[in-house]
Each structure stands twice: as C-alpha cells, then as structure tokens.
Structure 1
C-alpha cells in the first residue's frame, strides 16, 4: 500500500488554521507493522527502520494489525495549500475525496477541520447522492517539522472507516540526563460503536519526560514519560459546546458526580515509554469516584508520539481512548491529535 503524506517546505511554514501551508505531496512506501531495527512492540505501522537521525511516519493499525474494524482505511492523504483542501482516499461515500475547510467548525484551537462533500452527482443523470459525514483534523507544528491528521466517519452504526497518521520530517537529539516539560493542545473526534454521529473534542496538553530514569535494563532507553490532557471540552458537529450536556447524560446514566468537568486523562507511568529513536508509546486512562467512594476507570486507551529537534523542541502524537459510560452509544471512542512544545 502506498501512503501519501505532506512534504515539508521548512523555509516558509505558516499555521494550518491561517488558511494555507507551503506543503507538497510526497510518498512513503513503508508497509506493514514496524519490525525494523530499533523498533518495538506497540508502535503503529510505518517506517520500517526508524532512526534518531531521520524522518518517521506512523499510521493507524488496521484490524489485521490489532485495530478495530474500519481502522486504518484512510490513505492517500495530501494537502493542497492553494485551495486549502485535503485529499483522502479509500473511504466510501466521501464525494470526490476532496475535503474542504469546515463551515460550522473551521478550526479547533491551532488545528484545522475539514469536511467531505455532503452530496455528489450521479455520473449518468446528475442526481445528487447524499454522502456520509466524513471529518478530518489536521495539525502542523509552528516549525513545520511535525504534523498529524485524523479522519473519522459518522454514518455507521459501529465506528466506521477512517484512520490517523502522524510524523516528523527531521531527526532528534535526545538528552542523556535531566527532565523536560512540553505544553500545547489536543483536538479530536469522538465516534460511536452502537450509534451514528460525530463529536469534536479539545483539551490542554502537557507531557514531561525524565531522561535519567527509569534505568536502562534492556539495551535501549528506559525514560519515564508523564502526560496530562485536561480542561476538556466537547462540541457537536455544528460547533456547539455540549460539554455540560455530555457530563449530565453520563452522570444521570451512571449515578455519579463528575464535579462539572470531564475527568483528566493521564499517562500510565512506567519504564521504556521513550526509545532511542525519539518514539513514545504507552497507555493512558482517566478516573472518577464511584457511588461507593472508590476510584473507578472512566476511559482507557493508548498514546503514540514522536519527538523532534536538536533540543528536542516538540512532540507530535495521537491518543485513542474509549469509555462505556457515555449513554450516547455502547462505546464512545475519542481520537485526538496533539503537538506540544518546549521552547528555547
């Protein structure tokens, strides 16, 4: 499978939410689950031989690689700066595969939102055919060295078909000691198993790394990584802030008190989260206090990320969590992309 992604013109990068980026389409021919030199279990498919000195590309695992049915189908992703449009291949009923800047929601914080066509003409008589609700979120760092994209579909009873990708265009130089903290934001799409529809999400993001510990016991780095996504908000597909409505329906259905806010997502801290190539992988979760006063799990899932820069300066990644406590569906999935920075 040939994947198309966004080539970097680093000399003149501007923010995606500003209406255009100097990116051109390039190709990435790596296929399958990453098993190359320096790779490790848990990384999404992509670059077969990752290195600290080179670009790294990752995409959502398909069902064959451990993902959900419909995961990893979005391919051929490219961006046209002249028209501020996205191209996404391999998803049924998304018009001519060209996604335009969102109308109800054009951006979520620093990240851009794109929509597929709502109708498409019959090739014989021109009759308009209703299309599925496909949405995409694209994020590019201020340096242009890292980026992500998420595509989801809202017109299936289960999660439907979509995908995510993230990458860095350069290498990374990792410290051998000390700690660093990175701050930024997350934007995501919530889709449902057991119901149609889509919702958007946002959050503040912070990631801290201990480059001293945990101690190396396996021949690779053992660095500990701590992450937090808080100040979380949810928006409907028309751009209305429905956070309080979502909280209310969860509290009512489960007879719990969330204290007026969605629980904070936190990384599970343990050895080996960061490797020598600057890639991060691990699990995360959020908690709430149940009716008995005990701590219970609200959401859980995985995060995937890669560091970039000589200092290093930034981290890009994607997190995916699910919960069965939202009565909107049997299970609600949130797929969020994030970019965080440690400025000089």
Structure 2
C-alpha cells in the first residue's frame, strides 16, 4: 500500500512507497489473522497492550525505533476522549510516531501513524478481543436483536500535527530534514447492529481535524455489511454521498457483546484537499450497559 505525506498546503501529489504488511495474529488481542482488512492494518503487524500498566508495544511500523518491536512512551497529556496516547521518536532527526489505544473489558483497538519525513509515512490500525464471540440475546418483546453502540472516535491523518511532542533540534537545522508529528482527528461514532439478520452499519460524525480546526470534515458513513455469525467480525465500505472512500471493520466483544472495537482507512474524503489519508479507530460500549454514551439516552418519540 502506498503511503505519502500531505503537506500543509494540501495541493500537490507526492510520490510514495512503503511496505504494506498484512496483520498477523496478536496473542494479546486474539485477533484471527484474516479478521482485519489489509487496507486498515496497513503497515501495522500487531500490538501488545497492558491497560493496567499502561504499556504499548507496536510491531511492524518502520523507522519508529530500532527494533521491529518497539515500546512506546505514555503521553497522558495527548489523550483524546477516552483513548490513551503513546508516542515514539528515537532522536530529534528520526520519525515521530503517534499511537492511540483503548480497551473496554478486553475489547480493544489501536491506531499508529508516523509523521511525515522525506515525503513518506507509515500507519495502520488493529482491533481485537479476548475470548469468543458472545452475541446479545434476541428478545422479541424488547429489541428484536437490534443493538446500538456509541462513543468517541480518534483518527490520525497524513497531515501535520501541532509538533508539541517532537524532540528539540539545534537552531538552524534545515527544514528539509525535520520530522513532523501526525495530525489528529476527533469525532463521534454510532454503530447499529442487528443480531437477528447479522447486519451492521453506522456513521462517524462531528469530525474535527484538531490541528486545523477551520477545515470542514465530512461525516463518514459505514455502509451496511454482514456480521460473521461465528466470529462476530465485520468489514465494509466507508462512503460519502454514496461514493466509496475507504474500508472499515470491527469485532464484537465481551459478555453479550457489550462492546465493539473497529478501525477504518479513508482517503480522498476531505473537500478541497488532495492526497489525504486517514487511519482511525473506535472502541464503544453498548447502549444500556454501564458507561454508555450520552447519545444512548435519546427519548423515544
């Protein structure tokens, strides 16, 4: 998969190349090897995450640290909407990498993107769960198998961030060699699932490019797609105005599927911008469970 860096002016096409590694099984999250579309996994091979110790180890992202497997630094000041931030930068002239991760009772997702340097970047997203798929019970007198999940979204864009986590460089260092921090995108997500017909769909809305707040960010529709009745996984198209703009996928986890985790890759999805690419994740509690999002409390007409 090609990876290229979007300049601040966001107008010119850039040449690109990088190795797109398919996702491989991560024993910490027990994700089947075929469970994540390659478009979403990108360059990321897997993660190890300990929510108690707050440690994140990333595999497959090139040029983040010297080893293929790198342990990132916790950055609580960069946390967004329940997603924990981690970063890596080996030295002031090496690439900077940003990662976000969230876990709800063993259902988790992570997104990792390097900032731009020398016109290129690396990135990807993964998701998984502990344990087997446990669908919610179908109760014809109550929900007929219809379940909603709501909460926050975090994405990383191939555009510049605020640079606040970059290591300092010596005065007079040429701009051509400087690394850049990845741009952050926040938003909200609503997922509706039908566990009778095994269909899921949703939307990522109220999206904002944190580092360029004046830029209009379109909603990303998550086109209806099937739920694997054995694995509780799904994948489908990201659309804007019914036009394909990428791929999304996810997995239901926990008792009675009390959480859902997923990721997406989108491109050509911001008006008046060229060559933009975005990796993002969502980890959401099911409506009606402890910790449910305020969006779940909408009254019936």
TM-score class, shorter: 0.5 to 0.7
The residue number in structure 1 matching 2:75 is: 102
8 A Cα contact 1:58 1:165, kept in partner: no
The CA deviation string for residues 224-261 of structure 1, in whole angstroms up to 9 with x for no partner, is 2121111111112xxxxx221x22xxxxxxxxxxxxxx
The CA deviation string for residues 37-75 of structure 1, in whole angstroms up to 9 with x for no partner, is xxxxxxx65489xxxxx95356897xxx8549x932455
Q: Report the number of matched residues.
A: 239
RCO higher in structure (CA 8 A, sep ≥6): 2
Instruction: Say which SS state the counterpart of residue 269 (structure 1) adopts.
Output: strand
Select the residue among 180, 196, 199 that pairs with 2:147: 180
8 A Cα contact 2:98 2:112, kept in partner: yes
Select the residue among 245, 248, 252 that pairs with 1:307: 252
The residue number in structure 2 matching 1:337 is: 281
Select the residue among 111, 117, 134 that pairs with 1:150: 111
Instruction: Say which SS state the counterpart of residue 160 (structure 1) adopts.
Output: coil
The residue number in structure 2 matching 1:232 is: 207
Select the residue among 266, 275, 299 that pairs with 1:321: 266
8 A Cα contact 1:60 1:164, kept in partner: no
Instruction: Say which SS state the counterpart of residue 311 (structure 1) adopts.
Output: helix
CA 1:196/1:323 → structure 2, altered by over 3 Å: closer, same or farther?
A: farther
The residue number in structure 2 matching 1:243 is: 213
Cα distance in 2 between the residues matched to 1:243 and 1:306: 31
Select the residue among 111, 128, 132 that pairs with 2:95: 132
The residue number in structure 2 matching 1:56 is: 31
CA RMSD of aligned residues (A): 3.5
CA 1:265/1:159 → structure 2, altered by over 3 Å: closer, same or farther?
A: farther
CA 1:324/1:140 → structure 2, altered by over 3 Å: closer, same or farther?
A: closer
Q: Which runs of 5+ in 1 are unaligned?
A: 1-31, 34-43, 49-53, 120-128, 214-222, 237-241, 248-261, 288-295
The residue number in structure 2 matching 1:210 is: 194
Cα distance in 2 between the residues matched to 1:81 and 1:72: 27
Cα distance in 1 between the residues matched to 2:233 and 2:128: 10
Select the residue among 269, 283, 291 that pairs with 2:224: 269
Instruction: Say which SS state the counterpart of residue 227 (structure 1) adopts.
Output: strand
The CA deviation string for residues 171-214 of structure 1, in whole angstroms up to 9 with x for no partner, is 2322455211111111110115xx9762101111111112233x
The CA deviation string for residues 86-118 of structure 1, in whole angstroms up to 9 with x for no partner, is 333444443463322337x52011001111136
8 A Cα contact 1:326 1:332, kept in partner: no
| Higher Rg | 1
Instruction: Say which SS state the counterpart of residue 284 (structure 1) adopts.
Output: strand
CA 1:90/1:312 → structure 2, altered by over 3 Å: closer, same or farther?
A: closer
Superposed, 1:33-112 pairs within 5 Å as 46=25, 55-57=30-32, 67=39, 71-75=42-46, 77-79=48-50, 82=53, 84-95=54-65, 97-102=70-75, 105-112=77-84
